[in-house]
DNA sequence: AATAAAATCAACCGCCACAGT
DNA sequence: GACTGTGGCGGTTGATTTTAT
């Protein structure tokens, strides 16, 4: 007998989230905060598992998410952190405000692994790949490394080292990697603060929200039709504005592509940016979003970010 | 233009830790 | 201490998108 599933899966919806579902979840959380994920779908009127709601919120809907490609500096820092923390993606993500563990894990598996291999480094051990080392041997090392990771359940952010000290001269490391692996500690890296975010980078994604094009949602898209008014997420832009953007697909990842649209948005953002930055500077509580959500002052945030939510009376 | 292959990433699954009883 | 419920994590999958042929 295995463990009971986290929820009754019968009748629950799976797969990609629709815009309506996103709206319901976002509205519910912004109005109520998060107390118990298990009850969220029921209270929010969603046919989803609580876990699924949590994941959707954390990986996609959170207002403080930072979108877009990873910078070289972020990648280098990621490599450095991975060398010390192993596959502890959430720990690593803690060093990247606005990034999720899922995002970092994906990026690592799809890009950085490859990059390191091209540079002659083993992405698991971060050591130069020895030609004499057979494939099987590499896998052994891999397993060893993983078990080592698992055994160290008490490793905290003081970050245990994986014996990834700079290589000896008898086994020279490519120059690029020397930069990565011998880089100073986080304290010395510009823009890094060991997980303690600054007001400059904690909510960089207002841009994301204001750039989301919900209006011209492609009706043929299998995600269903949209009932969400553009003003919900972008109060200052009307449906007419959306016509400027030729990309009508619902894709929260994409940002506005029309330069004039962007210019308008920039003006809009500048005004609100100042307002928000002041607010954030007054309200910042470490990097714990969950704590943030249960914070009483959250409704102030909501008023500024999503004024229309306050007025909408029709959400179930 | 059509197709195949590769890359990407959102979402799911199962396990574990922890708190409450 | 055993049990249960919940949140969180890392591994994996598979649909979609992009690139190559």
Q: What is the pLDDT of residues A89-141, one digit of tens each?
A: 999 999 998 899 999 999 999 999 888 888 888 888 888 876 544 444 444 44
Structural domains of chain A, count? 2
Say whether both A53 and A13 belong to one domain. yes
How far: A151 CA to C8 C1' (Å)?
18
Q: What pLDDT shows up at residue A215? A: 34
> Binning pLDDT at 50, 70 and 90, where does residue A244 land?
very low
Asked whether strand B has any atom less than 7 Å from the CB of A89, the reply is no
> If DSSP codes are grouped into helix, strand and coil, which group holds residue A309?
helix
End-of-domain residue from the set A129, A151, A173: A129
CA distance A261 to A37: 37
Q: Is A117 part of a structural domain of the chain?
A: yes
Spatial contact of A53 and A25, defined as CB atoms under 8 Å apart: yes
More confident residue, A10 or A119: A119
Which comes out higher in pLDDT, residue A17 or A256? A17
Q: Distance (Å) from CA A51 to C1' B14?
A: 13
Examine residue A315 and state whether it is found in any structural domain, yes or no.
no
Range of the domain at A120: 68-129
Is A26 found in the same domain as A74? no
User: Domain boundary at A63, A86, A103, which?
Assistant: A63
Angle in degrees, CA A160, A164, A170, rounded to 5: 160
Token pair 């308008």 is found at: A264
- A55 CA to C11 C1' in angstroms comes to 15
Q: Is the residue at A29 inside a domain?
A: yes
Size of chain A, expressed as the number of residues it contains? 316
Phi-psi region of A260 (alpha: psi -120 to 50; beta: other; left: phi over 0): alpha
Last residue in a domain, options A24, A43, A63 = A63
Q: What CATH number is given to the structural domain containing A120?
A: 1.10.10.60
Cβ of residue A156 lies below 7 Å from strand B: no
């Amino acid at each position: 007998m295995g463990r009971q599933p986290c929820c009754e899966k019968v009748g629950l919806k799976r797969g990609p989230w629709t815009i309506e579902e996103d709206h319901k979840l976002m509205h519910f959380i912004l109005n109520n905060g998060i107390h118990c994920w298990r009850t969220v779908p029921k209270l929010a009127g969603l046919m989803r598992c609580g876990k699924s709601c949590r994941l959707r919120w954390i990986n996609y809907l959170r207002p403080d998410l930072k979108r877009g490609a990873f910078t070289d500096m972020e990648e280098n820092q990621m490599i450095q952190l991975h060398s010390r923390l192993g596959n502890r993606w959430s720990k690593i993500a803690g060093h990247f405000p606005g990034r999720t563990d899922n995002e970092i894990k994906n990026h690592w598996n799809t890009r950085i692994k490859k990059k390191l291999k091209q540079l002659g480094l083993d992405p698991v051990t971060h050591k130069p790949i020895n030609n004499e080392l057979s494939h099987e041997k590499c896998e052994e090392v891999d397993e060893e490394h993983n078990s080592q990771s698992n055994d160290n359940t008490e490793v905290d952010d003081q970050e245990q080292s994986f014996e990834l000290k700079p290589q000896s001269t008898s086994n020279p490391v490519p120059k690029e990697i020397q930069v990565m692996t011998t880089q100073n500690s986080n304290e010395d890296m510009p823009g890094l603060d060991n997980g303690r975010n600054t007001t400059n980078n904690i909510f960089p994604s207002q841009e994301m929200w204001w750039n989301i094009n919900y209006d011209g949602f492609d009706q043929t898209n299998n995600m269903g039709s949209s009932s969400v008014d553009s003003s919900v997420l972008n109060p200052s832009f009307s449906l007419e504005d959306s016509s400027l953007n030729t990309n009508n697909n619902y894709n929260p990842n994409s940002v506005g592509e029309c330069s004039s649209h962007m210019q308008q948005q920039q003006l809009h953002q500048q005004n609100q940016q100042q307002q928000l930055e002041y607010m954030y500077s007054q309200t910042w509580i470490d990097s714990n979003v969950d704590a943030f959500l249960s914070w009483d002052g959250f409704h102030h945030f909501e008023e500024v970010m999503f004024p229309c939510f306050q007025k909408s009376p029709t959400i179930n």
